[in-house]
Amino acid sequence: MHPDAEQALADFFSQLEIEKRASIHTIKSYQRDIKRLISYCTGKAICHWTDLRQSDIRAHIANRHRQSISSKSLQRELSAIRSFYNFLLKNRLADTNPAEHVQAPKQARKLPKTLDVDQVNGLLEAGANSMLEIRDVAMFELLYSSGLRLSELTALNLSDLDLPDNSLIVRTGKGGKSRILPVGSKAVTAIENWLPERSKNALPSEPGLFISTRGKRLGQRSVQLRLEQWCKKKAIAEHIHPHMLRHSFASHLLESSQDLRAVQELLGHSNISTTQIYTHLDFQHLAEIYDKAHPRAKKKSI
């Protein structure tokens, strides 16, 4: 690519990081996506971003589709390209967005896997017999109690907790958004059991709530592995991952409250359509509510 094109790309990622406060995960994903587009441009001897046409974007996405790339990944790639060209348009470095009307092949939306209440109880109420297991139970209880993302759990600091108020603050939510969440009594008890152990092992400079045996903040992969190990020890055959506890939180809360907006706020979803995927899990109950409450749904008795 021409040096001017490379500079425009560098400016775009600086804006994402500084102005848009995009997550590191988003930035890295966009970098990979644009890198693939650059490879296409190199193959076609395209040196300037303004030389790309809609037909080029379609050809690039079609080629990626032939490589068996999922629809979800292709949609993300198109989103990255659209965002970049919107940046170019805003800064008068391009006249059109060639990706604007290009769509990825549609794919059926996968429904989230959840645990029922009995499965959650069986998972969380198995006794902890060591310092690590006390920590693990506190983590798993908190994931289910507050519907946290794995990244949000590992980013929690001790100062983010307010146990007397049964609440915590998420400072590193998706999109840089923060939110205050309730913490259930079971999770509060589990955390209270963990805090004395933490104080014995944490490095003086470590603010993280959940730490490793070395006294440093626990990473996301470590949480995943600990949950796998916990399930094996408890003879739970089903593969359970941390996000499944978040899915279960959303499903159970929606089933009990029927308040989609409240669940949206608790999950930290910017768009309610993301939250609506959980409604399928309790559609029969919703239909019964409708039949009882809607004035035109009631059947007339003869």
The residues assigned a catalytic role are 149, 174, 243, 246, 269, 278
Residue by residue, DSSP assigns 149-199 as -HHHHHH-BGGGEEGGGTEEEESS-GGG--EEEE--HHHHHHHHHHHHHHH
What are the C-alpha distances in Å from 300 to residues 287, 291, 294?
A: 18, 12, 13
d(CA 54, CA 97): 8
Nearest to 104 by CA among 125, 65, 75: 75
Q: Provide the 8-state DSSP code for 298.
A: S
In terms of Cβ atoms closer than 10 Å to its own Cβ (0-12, 13-18, 19+), residue 144 is: buried
Length of the chain in terms of residues written: 302
Contact call for residues 154 and 217 (beta carbons, < 8 A): yes
Nearest to 37 by CA among 17, 63, 14: 63
